[in-house]
Amino acid sequence: METVDDTLVERPRPFARIKAGAAALARSAADLALPPQCLACETPVATQGSLCASCWSKLRLIEKPYCARLGIPFAYDIGLGALSAEAIADPPPFDRCRAVAVFDDVARKLVHGLKYRDRLELAAWMAGWMRRAGGELIAEADVIVPVPLHTRRLWWRRYNQSVLLARTVTEAAGKPLATATLKRIRATEQQVGLSHDQRDRNVRGAFQVPASGKIVVAGRRVLLVDDVYTTGATVKASTRALLRAGAVAVDVLVFARVVRGQI
């Protein structure tokens, strides 16, 4: 199957594209002049596109053993397919979630750099690690769907960081990317600062799969891609919309996730 649809990542305001282009040019000129910098803290490093030793030591990669469902790391190996208490008490609508790192300190700097600071160069590095963390999920996916932004937010932000991550993941895997399959039909409040329940209410009914998208996901295993998993409200609402549209199953791949007790 080929790429199903591939809408523009950027929808800049007038002049924003020129400004962004000029900024990118200035950045690449600066890159030539300056020694390579750490992706997270911007201290000098030996090679372009890497982390310094200090940030590396602080980035908490999530490795096995972890909950087969939620991908939450376990302190001890309790056997293949073991589930966390959270996955048993409150089973998510998706099958499996995998994340590269715990969402704290260094991972937060990377996520926020990509999301709020126009540091698009982070996407390739972050997606490279997502391919490693989600290899099994990517291999089994029929189609890859990024979590969408509402049009209004996309307009202001100019790009959707989840699309950038999903695109890099799909290019390497040779899987179809469907960027207009899932729509955010209701503008929601920023999730930052909201409680678990408030986040759930905030995104309930916010996502929909249009008729054209149903053809893409019906009967298929979908891999949903986002930058960060905090309470999971956004990916759960997205998953429910995809399942309603006929997806047989949904897996979730993010760069970072909150691990309870470490928020």
By CB under 5 A, which span of 32-40, 111-119, 126-134, 204-212 interacts with Zn ion?
A: 32-40
Q: What is the CA radius of gyration of the chain?
A: 18
In the complex with Zn ion, the residue whose CB is nearer, 38 or 147, is 38
Distance in Å, CB of 110 to Zn ion, minimum: 10
By CB under 5 A, which span of 35-43, 63-71, 160-168, 213-221 interacts with Zn ion?
A: 35-43
Spell out, one character per residue from 186 to 215, where the chain touches Zn ion: x when CB under 5 A holds, - when not. ------------------------------
Q: Which of 9, 20, 41, 243 binds Zn ion (CB under 5 A)?
A: 41
In the complex with Zn ion, the residue whose CB is nearer, 21 or 35, is 35
3-state per-residue secondary structure call for 24-84: HHHHHHHHHHCCCEECCCCCECCCCCECCHHHHHHCCECCCCECCCCCCECCCCCCCCCCC
- Please tell me whether residue 55 binds Zn ion under the rule CB under 5 A: yes
Distance in Å, CB of 58 to Zn ion, minimum: 8
- Please tell me whether residue 40 binds Zn ion under the rule CB under 5 A: yes
Phi, psi of 208 (to 5 degrees): -150, 150
Q: Residue 182, Cβ neighbours under 10 Å: how many?
A: 25
- In whole angstroms, what separates CA 41 from the centre of its chain? 21
Q: Which of 33, 35, 38, 175 binds Zn ion (CB under 5 A)?
A: 38
- Please tell me whether residue 52 binds Zn ion under the rule CB under 5 A: yes
Task: Let me know: does 122 contact 114? Beta carbons within 8 Å.
Answer: yes
Distance in Å, CB of 51 to Zn ion, minimum: 5
Phi, psi of 77 (to 5 degrees): -75, 115
Does residue 65 have a cis peptide bond before it, meaning omega lies within 30 degrees of 0?
A: yes
Q: Which residues contact Zn ion (rule: CB under 5 A)?
A: 38, 40-41, 52, 55
